[in-house]
Chain A
Amino acid sequence: MPGGKERELRRRINSIGSTKKITRAMELIAATRVVKAMQRANAARPYARLITGVIEDLAAGGAEADHPLLRQRAQVRNVGFIVITGDRGLAGAYNSSVIRAAERQLMGHVSEGKGYSLCCVGRKSAGYFRFRNYRIADAAAGFSDNPSYDDARRIAETVSGWFLSEAVDQVELIYTEFVSMGTQRVVVRRFLPLVDTEMMAQQGSGTDRGSSFEFEPSPQAVLEALLPRYTEARLYGALLDAAASEHASRQRAMKAATDNAEELITKLSRAMNQARQDAITTEIMEIVGGAEALGGDSRGEAESQPDALSAGVQAPVAAAAGSHPV
């Protein structure tokens, strides 16, 4: 029935319209959050830069690069993974691309006969790996869109604990780096042992740039207190990058969804208008057809009953008008 098709289309247009309202709202929310997340990432940069500078000064001042967190293990038997995803979906490929990269890394190490310890940050990664029966050693969630330094400290302490107790010999950090509003990329970084600082320390020992530094209590003690802070700052930076990336991905995904909904509405509106026009045309055809058929009959009857002619023509029109669905 033609009227039924029109009603069906109208219902779909309404439903897509309300979806569009939701995606539009999510897009706008993500747009404001991504700005805030970027500001937070920028505000955190001085600390990361300064703490790296302090480590360089320490290295130059003669602190030996012989801290447990710096030591490379000769044989890597177990590898730790920190996988940073979001808590919620509807962010395009954001979560799945991190998870895919993490799983590839993990499978690569497992196929070489190594063990793994998995630290899932964000509900999405925990859900994925749990569903596939991976062993999750630690999970943290509930702060992916607005991480605090305390969150970073908790995770860094846990994972450093694994490394120091030799449960793992190496830790990889997998997250999404925020390059710009338009570009975010999934990266795999060595988290422990701290290769960068070891390199810095080796370079530093050759120069005498910081040899005039006074240390209290001693270069070694300062380094010892500093390195955990350094790992925390790095993880915090990664969390902030991931949060900004999540919001940027969500904004893009929701913009695409909104545009899509608009396009669908246009298409369906056209189909609906056409259906309505078809229905009207069919009805007119029915009326005209009916009138003609009756007119032919009455013409035939007119010879025997000429006074019934005018009533016979009016009655079918009235009946057709009554059957009109609108």
Chain B
Amino acid sequence: MPDMAVELAVELVSPEEVSYSGAAEMVIVRTAEEGDIAFQAGHVPFLGVLATWSVDVLRAGGERDSFAVHRGFVEVSHNKVTILSDVSEAAGEIDVSRAEKARDRAGGALKADPDDAAALEALERAELRLRVAASASA
């Protein structure tokens, strides 16, 4: 590959800490309105609002790290990808049984009140966690 030398510097930053920092060939995120977008080295400066969805970091050699990201932003400039988010969890850190419980609880709340925005958000978060955890173990 011609661009082996040029890599993206990736940082996942939450208010509490820098939760991940490393180099990658490609970063795939999903923005709030437009859909999936992948960044490689040399991408034009970009600033976007992220959906409650996964962020996939593809490292050289085909390794892949998945993160569940809630309420985030992505900024790309000068081959540096910064993901700012309230919560970002690596696939390995996700507590599956807790996420399942949260999903069931939120599902129950939604059955009682289909307009419950908080429950809808909770459901979205729990499903994302489960999906990211499943993709990592697969």
Contact = CB atoms under 8 A, between A and B. Distances in A.
A292 to B, nearest CB: 83
A48 B17 CA distance: 10
Contact of A214 (B13, B16, B47, B82): B47
A201 interface: no
B98 to A, nearest CB: 16
Contacts of B84: 47, 50-51, 54, 229
B44 A212 contact: yes
B45 A213 contact: yes
A141 interface: no
Nearest to A221: B49
A54 B47 contact: yes
B15 A222 contact: no
A217 B13 CA distance: 21
Interface string A46-83: 11101101100110010000000000000000000000
Interface residues of A, number: 33
A256 interface: no
Contacts of A134: none
B13 A57 contact: no
A54 B71 CA distance: 15
B86 interface: yes
Contacts of A58: 47
B22 to A, nearest CB: 15
Given A44-B16, A215-B47, A50 B75 contact: yes
Interface stretch (B28-36, B60-68, B119-127, B128-136): B28-36
Interface string B39-71: 000001111110000000000000000000001
B73 A57 contact: no
A216 B47 contact: yes
A236 interface: yes
A210 interface: yes
Secondary structure at chain B's binding surface: helix, strand, loop or mixed? Answer: strand
Nearest to A232: B15
A51 B74 CA distance: 11
A49 to B, nearest CB: 9
Nearest to B86: A149
Contact of B73 (A43, A149, A222, A232): A222
A232 to B, nearest CB: 7
Contact of A233 (B11, B15, B49, B82): B15
A40 interface: yes
Interface string A29-52: 000000000001001101110110
Interface of A: 40, 43-44, 46-48, 50-51, 53-54, 57-58, 61, 148-149, 152-153, 210, 212-217, 219, 221-222, 225-226, 229, 232-233, 236
15 contacts: A43-B18, A44-B15, A54-B73, A54-B75, A149-B14, A213-B46, A214-B46, A216-B32, A216-B34, A222-B48, A222-B73, A225-B32, A225-B73, A229-B73, A232-B15
9 closest pairs, A vs B, by CB? A216-B48, A43-B17, A213-B45, A149-B15, A217-B33, A225-B49, A214-B46, A47-B15, A216-B31
Interface of B: 11, 13-18, 31-34, 37, 44-49, 71, 73, 75, 77, 82, 84, 86
Given A216-B32, A216-B47, 17 more contacts: A43-B16, A47-B84, A48-B15, A54-B84, A57-B75, A61-B47, A149-B86, A210-B45, A212-B44, A213-B44, A213-B46, A213-B47, A215-B48, A217-B31, A221-B49, A229-B73, A233-B15
